[in-house]
Amino acid sequence: MRLTVLADNNTLTDHYFLGEPGLSILVEHEGQQTLLDAGYSDVFLQNAVKMGLDLLQLDRVVLSHGHLDHTWGLTALIRLRTEAAIERRNVVETELLAHPLALQSKSRDYLPEIGSLLSADQLGRHFRLNLREQPMQLGEGLYYLGEIPRRFAFERMDQRGRRRWGPDGPQPDALVDDTALAFRCARGLVLITGCSHSGICNIAAQAMDVTGVSRIVDIIGGLHLLKASKERLEKTVDYLTGVGLEALHACHCTDLEAKIALAGGLPVRETGSGLVLEYPDAVMA
C-alpha cells in the first residue's frame, strides 16, 4: 500500500508543495485509488499534478467527516471531472463513501456554514453515493471503520455551539459522522484519520474490533488534539503506548503542545504535504 499526503497544514522542508488548513490523503492499494478527504480548496489537486498523480482515475472518495477543511475541495474535484468530460477525456465512475450525516449542513457559534457546500442530491450527480454507518471492507486489508463508538470518557467532545441541520431543523452536533480508514499490513494496523473528532483512542479500539488485529504500527492524520487538557494528553499517550506503534504521523489538527506531549512517549514523525509512505507487506499471514 502506498500513501501520499496531498494536503496538510504543514509542508516538508525542500519539498515544494502547497499546504493549507485542511487534509487530503491518497491511498493506492491493489490497483485502486482511494482519496480520504479533499481538503479546503484545490491544493490537493495542484500537489497531485506536481506528483504525477491522475485524480480523474479515483475509484472512491471517502469523507472522514463533513467539515469544510475536508469537504470544500470537492467542488474543485467536480470542476476537474466536469472539464475533462467536456473535453471527452476518460473519467471513471467514482464512489463517494461517507456516514449519512456527513453531508448535512453544519454550523458553529457565529459561523453559518462549516459543513459540506454540496448536498447529497448534488453530489449524487457526480459520484456513486454510498452513505453508511456500518464498517466496510474496501479491498484485501483495507477497511472503512464506519461510525465510531465513544468508549473513553476522556475523549468526550464538547458540543457547545455546534449544530447540524437536517430535515427536522437544527440539532446538537456530536459529530457522529467522524470515521477513518484502517489498513492491515504484515506487522499490524495502519490507521488513516481525518480529524479524529471521535477520539483517536476510540478510533483505534474500533479498528481493532473491525479487523481482529490488536497491534497498531502507524497512525497518520489529524488527532484533534487542540488545546487538549493535560489529563487527555496523558491518557492518550498511555493508551497509544500499549498498541505497538512504530511511528505516529500526527498532523493537521494536532497542535505543537500536543505533539511535544506525544513525543515524550511515542515515535512522532514529521508529516506534511508531499509525504509518501509505503507499506510493502500488504496482508498479515
pLDDT digits (tens, 9 = 90+) for 122-178: 999 999 999 999 999 999 999 999 999 999 999 998 888 999 998 889 999 999 999
For each of the domains in the chain, give its residue range(s) and CATH number, in order of start: 2-278 (3.60.15.10)
Alpha helices in 106-264 (DSSP H): 120-123, 200-211, 230-241, 256-263
Cα first-last separation, the chain:
16
Q: Which secondary-structure segment (H or E) carries 74?
A: helix 74-86
Query: pLDDT over 90 for what percent of the chain?
Result: 94
Confidence of residue 281 (pLDDT cuts 50, 70, 90): low
In Å, what is the CA distance from 201 to each residue of 11, 65, 151, 217, 260? 26, 17, 9, 14, 18
Q: Which three cell numbers stand for residue 222?
A: 489529524
CB burial string 162-175: b at 16+ within 10 A, e below: bbbeeeeeeeebbb
> pTM value?
0.97
Query: Residues near 229 by Cβ (< 8 Å), separated by ≥ 6?
Result: none
User: Would you say residue 285 has pLDDT above 70?
Assistant: no
**Structure confidence by residue, pLDDT tens digits, 197-215:** 999 999 999 999 999 999 9
Q: What is the mean pLDDT of residues 181-195?
A: 96
